[in-house]
Amino acid sequence: MALLTPQQQQQVADAVTRAEQRTDAEIVTVLAPRADDYSYIPLLWASLIALVVPALVHFLIGGLQIYGLLMLQWACFVFLSLIFRLPAITTRLIPPRIRHWRASNLARRQFLEQKLHHTQDRTGVLIFVSEAERYVEILVDEGISRHLDNSDWGTIVSDFTRRVALGHTAEGFIACIDACAELLERHVPKTHPRNQLPNRLVML
């Protein structure tokens, strides 16, 4: 998973600037490498497997005394705890529902932290991505939701999610922003100049 280069970040910011010239919406983009460190996940899986392995060894092979089984259990726990901390492995140990739940929570926190709920006419739009979870969400304030239903964003989110899974996050951002601008221009067109929030990509 590679972070966006400064040039790519500027391209995303430029796309936001272009989009806001077409609509009253205030667009903020946020990119998180992951929604959580999931520090408890490696320990949980290592504990469960370490509990089972000595019993399997004793059943299949036999011959080990209690002390040997305890040493095997501890060795198994320590080894797996270290291996399961590798990000590529940790992510695979987490059920998709939990990954998406954590990413969704972070998206909502960012909506508040980036002050999208304080925009004039409540026209804030958050485009949020968490790369490790391959999670994309578009959150809008009530000034936008009055004109557009959640289902209107479905195709845009699906296309962006596919691009993130392929590792094309920067291109996905730009395509998503352009698609949002087209949709917003039809329903929340530009009425007067304003730029209340920064256009830069927020990197967590």
Report domain extents, the chain.
6-36+95-203, 40-93
Tokens of 133: 């979870």
| 164 vs 142: CA distance, rounded Å | 28
pLDDT score of 13 more than 90: yes
Cβ contact 10:201 at 8 Å: no
> Could you give phi then psi for residue 23, rounded to 5 degrees?
-150, 160
pLDDT digits (tens, 9 = 90+) for 24-64: 999 999 999 887 776 777 778 888 888 887 777 767 776 66
pLDDT digits (tens, 9 = 90+) for 175-201: 999 999 999 999 999 988 888 888 999
Strand order in the sheet with 124-130: 135-140, 124-130, 26-32, 202-203
| % of the chain beyond a pLDDT of 90 | 50
User: Exposed e or buried b for every residue in 131-147, given b needs 16+ CB within 10 A?
Assistant: bbbbbbbbbbbebbeee
β-strand pairing of 26-32 with 202-203: parallel
End-to-end CA distance of the chain: 14
CATH assignment of 6-36+95-203, given 3.10.310.50, 3.30.1490.190, 3.40.50.920, 3.40.50.720?
A: 3.10.310.50
